[in-house]
Amino acid sequence: MRFQTELVPARLIRRYKRFLADCTLEDGTEVTAHCANPGSMMGLAEPGMRIWLEPNDDPKRKLNYGWRLVDHENGHFTGVDTSLPNRAVKAALEARAIPSLAAYGTVRAEVKYGENSRIDFLLTEPGLPDAYVEVKSVTLSRQPGIAEFPDSVTKRGAKHLGELAQMARAGHRAVLLYLVQRTDCTAFQVAADIDPVYDAAFAAARSEGLETLVIGTHILPHEVTLSASLTLSDGQ
């Protein structure tokens, strides 16, 4: 999927209050950008990093720029917008471009289920079990080539795993799709040291029948597209 407007390069001054980032454009102008990422952004918010911003002239928005990418300046990029994965996955599901889910013709987003929760996508098709698909954005990498999730403690993520396990026990398909928004990784693992509770919930859900998909992305300053599947590390 293409960005709505052409991205512009900048240098990060600082990220603060989770959703704000002060940046310097190439002409020296300092601007504040919206950071659509509530996570820790470990390793992705260091002052001086080269980043890419998406300008906008929408009067309804308080800020004229949105932070979209980190440029690692070695040919690789990381997407930091956590709203992008659901949009990209929805387009792929509707195009039947994810092989293991391609048999489903109806895609519904944000369907209520579990305990006051909403599943990202509910897929249905006559003659097939319903498929409950939860999408997670992955941006952390602490070891070369290995992507990790989560980048901070996530009680909400553990709750989702429990609810997906319930769907699997009820005879539905329960699918956790990790979309890796990094181009420098070929494998994935759960960051058990960051959130042991999430790691335990992940293992328990898989024992109940949770399916896990890990899909990479191809990222350029003008578009992000889904790419090949990544390897789930041994033991997971």
pLDDT in tens, 88-116: 999 999 999 999 999 999 999 999 998 88
Global pTM? 0.94
Q: Which domains does the chain have, with CATH numbers?
A: 8-79 (2.40.50.580), 84-232 (3.40.1350.60)
pLDDT tens, position by position, 177-220 = 999 999 999 999 999 999 999 999 999 999 999 999 999 999 99
| CA separation for the pair 86, 228 (Å, rounded) | 17
> Does pLDDT of 236 surpass 60?
no
> Does pLDDT of 223 surpass 90?
yes
| CA separation for the pair 192, 195 (Å, rounded) | 5
Strand partners, 157: none
**Taking Cα atoms as reference points, which of 191, 190, 178, 189 lies closest to residue 217?**
178
Q: At what angle do helices 196-207 and 155-169 cross, to 10 degrees?
A: 10
Distance of CA 58 to the CA centre of its chain: 25
Angle at 76 between CA 185 and CA 183, to 5 degrees: 30
Asked whether the beta carbons of 190 and 148 are under 8 A apart, the reply is yes
Asked whether the beta carbons of 68 and 54 are under 8 A apart, the reply is yes
